[in-house]
Amino acid sequence: MLIHTYRMNRNPHGSFAFKFVDNYTLISVAGSWNTECVEIYNTLLKKRVESKPEQRRCVIFDGRKWGFQTPECYNKFLELNQYISGHYKALFIAYYLAPENFSLSTHLLDMANDEFKGTLNWRFFLNLQDVASWLNSEGFEIPALTNSDFPEPISANHYLDYL
């Protein structure tokens, strides 16, 4: 119950939301994240992975409103990737990013994922048509998506009540 001590010490900064669909998961993130936000995000994703372990899965990650993270978050993301790599044979991640933050976003995400190549397969995109094309070429059935298909990010504080 480490999460509840964060509630008392520091407020989580950042927002996210998940939308679980049969063939894929949509994740939206926004704002600047601190370690408390990452802890909540990680806890919720781990619960999902535990309840639905699968051999292959794909995620479409909308990072267009992501304000990045504090340096301390890096190790928390590595922990999540380690956990996920122990539960999936392969996870395909399509990062849908904003052009103005594309270079920095790709650098940060490559650093967090690089150690897990093989289990994690990721690419970066500026449009959803290319996302669907890549994932469909990998054997997933992804329909034509629009920005409105992604869930609206919710403050990490909101999720504390569900942990």
Q: d(Cα 129, Cα 152) in Å, to the nearest integer?
A: 20
Q: pLDDT class for 53, splitting at 50, 70, 90?
A: low
Confidence of residue 150 (pLDDT cuts 50, 70, 90): very high
How wide is the angle at C-alpha 90 spanned by C-alphas 52 and 85, nearest 5°?
75
- CATH number assigned to the domain comprising residue 50: 3.30.750.24
| pLDDT at 1 > cutoff 60 | no
Average pLDDT, integer, range 44-73: 83
Beta bridge partners of 18: 27
- For 71-128, how does the pLDDT look when each residue is reduced to its tens digit (9 = 90+)? 787 888 888 888 888 877 888 999 999 999 888 888 878 887 788 888 888 999 999 9
Domain extent at residue 42: 2-162
Number of domains in the chain: 1
Does residue 139 have a pLDDT over 50?
yes
Please tell me the chain's helix, strand, coil percentages from 3-state DSSP, rounded to the nearest 5. 45, 30, 25
pLDDT at 106: 86
* Stated pTM of the model: 0.86
Least confident of 1-10, 16-25, 110-119: 1-10
